[in-house]
């Protein structure tokens, strides 16, 4: 058949071709967008994070935030929470408990998160009543004070407690036969809690204990050191930001006794200073030279943040991994999360195995006595 093609039919053919092309593009676009739409279809799991990103406690908890970011990326990449992603609502409480309470209210009002993570004992203790009132799980990190969880139903702690901080020190004191001990501590929730754990043990051993405290943000410890200078050993307890000054001033005062520091001083930024050499420190496994279980996180953390991983960061990383692991194939709710935490679990974290017995609110990774030798921790 021979058909005359005029302009009209030509336009019609063009329109058909164009329509076909548009249809094909739409179909292809639809296929490609399915994944995107599905990914957006489920609500994220919000977790409120209240840390001291500025102020006196920042040296201890900034790493916690940096490690959380890595954890949440890994968890979301695994996509094991029924397609739901974790979203962190991170706020700075400026190392101020009152500010932390205020921030908690803001987060709660705006986001109603599944749970909270808080850093530092003083902050966690301040937030604990809010967690109870809101019936929302709160997991405290970088918080050794037993007051954080004492008598609480919705508050948990993922960090060595005050007693654990003292055990390696006491073991060493026992081993070395020290009779007089000076206790230099930060006069806050954390320092006082360690004192509360340490003092009875010293007394039970019939040893002499002299205590001196300093305030948050303090940089001059010379007077306290002077008062403790006659002790055979001084056990210093503070936040990371205190230790460099304390050690420097101890050496500056020509203190000749043994120096013990709490786990906060095991971080590279403290132990790497010359004045830290020979100091005994309660240290987590993460700083063992051949320790392999945190290697991937160390590498990722260092690459991402251009600084070495600390146990404050690793423990916070572990908290999020723990929570994520518990919630796999589980109902995501505040009540269920609390029940899962209370039910008891085993978790092989970067800092060691956590074997939580049913009902416990305190999940602690082990601390061991180590000594700083040329900036490196030697576990003895």
Partner 1 sequence: MNSRTRNPFRSRIAVRIGTGFMVVLLLLSGLTWFVLSASSHYLRNSVGEDAAAVAATAMFGLDRGIVLKRSVLERICQDSQLLASVSESNSYFETLPDTEAYINETDLAWRSAPHDELTPFMYSILNNTLSEMLRARLVNSHILEYGHNLYAEVFVTNKYGATIAMAGKTSDYRQNDEVWWQVAASNGSHIGDVEYDESAGTYGLMICTRVTDANGTMIGVAKSVVDFVGLVREMEIGLLPSPYPSREIRVLTSDGGMLFSSRAYRLLEDVSDESYFVSMQGHSGYFVAEMGGRDVLFAYAQSTGYIDFTGFGWFALVGYNLADVLAPTLELRTVTLQATALLIVLGAAVAYVFTRSISRPIQEFTVAAREVSGGNLERRVEVRTQDEIGELASTFNEMTVSLRESKEDLEGKIQQRTKELDEANKGLKASNAELEQFAYVASHDMQEPLRMIRSYLEMLSRRYKGQLDSDADEFIGYAVDGVDRLQRMIDDLLALSRVGTKGEPFRRIDCNVVLNEIISNLKVAIETNDAIITSDRLPTVIGDELQLSQLFQNLLGNAMKFRSEAAPKIHVSAERRPGEWVFSVRDNGIGIDPQHFERVFVVFQRLHSRDKYPGTGIGLAICRKIAERHGGRIWVESQPGKGSTFYFSIPDRRVEVAKDERQGN
Give contact residues for partner 1 (rule: CB under 8 A): 1-6, 9-10, 13-14, 16-17, 20-21, 24-25, 28-29, 31-32, 74, 77-84, 285, 288, 291-293, 295, 321-326, 328-329, 343-348, 352-353, 355, 366, 368, 379-380
Question: For partner 1, which is the closer residue by CB, 7 or 254?
Answer: 7
- Report, in Å, the least distance between residue 140 CB and partner 1: 18
Q: How many helices (H) and strands (E) does the chain have?
A: 12, 15
Question: For partner 1, which is the closer residue by CB, 56 or 321?
Answer: 321
Closest CA to 173 of 234, 218, 124: 234
Question: For partner 1, which is the closer residue by CB, 4 or 37?
Answer: 4
Q: Which two tokens stand for residue 219?
A: 């940089």
Question: For partner 1, which is the closer residue by CB, 278 or 344?
Answer: 344
Contact between residue 116 and residue 46 where contact means Cβ atoms under 8 Å apart? no
- Report, in Å, the least distance between residue 237 CB and partner 1: 23
Give, as one character, the DSSP assignment of residue 79. Answer: T
- Report, in Å, the least distance between residue 172 CB and partner 1: 14
Residue 331 exposed, middle or buried by CB count within 10 Å (0-12, 13-18, 19+)? exposed
Residue 349 exposed, middle or buried by CB count within 10 Å (0-12, 13-18, 19+)? buried
Question: For partner 1, which is the closer residue by CB, 248 or 291?
Answer: 291
In angstroms, the CA 29 to CA 18 distance is 16
Question: For partner 1, which is the closer residue by CB, 83 or 274?
Answer: 83
- Report, in Å, the least distance between residue 359 CB and partner 1: 13
Strands (E), the chain: 45-51, 86-92, 115-119, 138-141, 155-158, 180-186, 208-214, 233-237, 258-261, 280-284, 345-349, 352-356, 362-363, 367-373, 376-379
- Per-residue DSSP letters for 159-201? S--HHHHHHHHHHHHHHHT--EEEEEEESSHHHHHHHHHHHHH
- Report, in Å, the least distance between residue 160 CB and partner 1: 13
Residue 208 exposed, middle or buried by CB count within 10 Å (0-12, 13-18, 19+)? middle
- Report, in Å, the least distance between residue 125 CB and partner 1: 26
Question: For partner 1, which is the closer residue by CB, 210 or 291?
Answer: 291
- Report, in Å, the least distance between residue 208 CB and partner 1: 26
């Amino acid at each position: 058949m021979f058909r005359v093609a005029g302009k009209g039919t030509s336009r019609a053919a063009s329109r058909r071709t164009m329509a076909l092309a548009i249809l094909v593009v739409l179909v292809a676009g639809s296929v490609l967008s399915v994944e995107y739409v599905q990914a957006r279809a489920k609500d994220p799991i919000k977790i409120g994070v209240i840390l001291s990103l500025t102020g006196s406690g920042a040296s201890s908890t900034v790493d916690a935030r940096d490690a959380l970011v890595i954890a949440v990326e890994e968890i979301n990449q695994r996509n094991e929470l029924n397609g739901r992603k974790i979203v962190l609502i991170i706020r700075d409480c400026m190392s101020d408990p009152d500010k932390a309470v205020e921030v908690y209210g803001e987060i709660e009002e705006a986001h109603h998160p599944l749970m909270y993570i808080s850093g530092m004992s003083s902050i966690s203790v301040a937030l604990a009543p809010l967690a109870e009132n809101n019936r929302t799980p709160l997991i405290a990190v970088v918080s050794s004070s037993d007051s954080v969880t004492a008598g609480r139903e919705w508050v948990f702690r993922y960090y060595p407690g005050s007693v654990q901080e003292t055990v390696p020190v006491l073991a060493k004191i026992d081993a070395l036969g020290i009779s007089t001990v000076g206790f230099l501590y930060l006069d806050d929730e954390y320092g006082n809690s360690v004192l509360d754990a340490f003092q009875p043990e010293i007394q039970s051993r019939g040893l002499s204990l002299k205590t001196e405290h300093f305030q948050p943000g303090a940089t001059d410890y010379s007077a306290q050191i002077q008062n403790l200078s006659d002790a055979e050993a001084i056990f210093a307890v503070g936040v990371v930001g205190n230790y460099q000054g304390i050690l420097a001033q101890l050496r500056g005062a020509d203190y000749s006794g043994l120096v013990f520091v709490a786990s906060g001083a095991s971080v590279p930024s403290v132990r790497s200073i010359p004045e830290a050499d020979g100091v005994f420190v309660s240290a987590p496994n993460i700083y063992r030279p051949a320790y392999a279980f945190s290697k991937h996180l160390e590498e990722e953390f260092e690459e991402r943040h251009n600084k070495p991983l600390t146990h404050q960061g690793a423990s916070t990383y572990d908290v999020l991994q723990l929570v994520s692991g518990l919630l796999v194939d589980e109902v995501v709710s505040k009540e269920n999360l609390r029940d899962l935490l209370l039910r008891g679990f085993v978790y092989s974290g970067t800092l060691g195995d956590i074997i939580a017995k049913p009902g416990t609110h305190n999940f602690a990774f082990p601390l061991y006595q180590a000594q700083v030798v040329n900036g490196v921790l030697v576990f003895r």
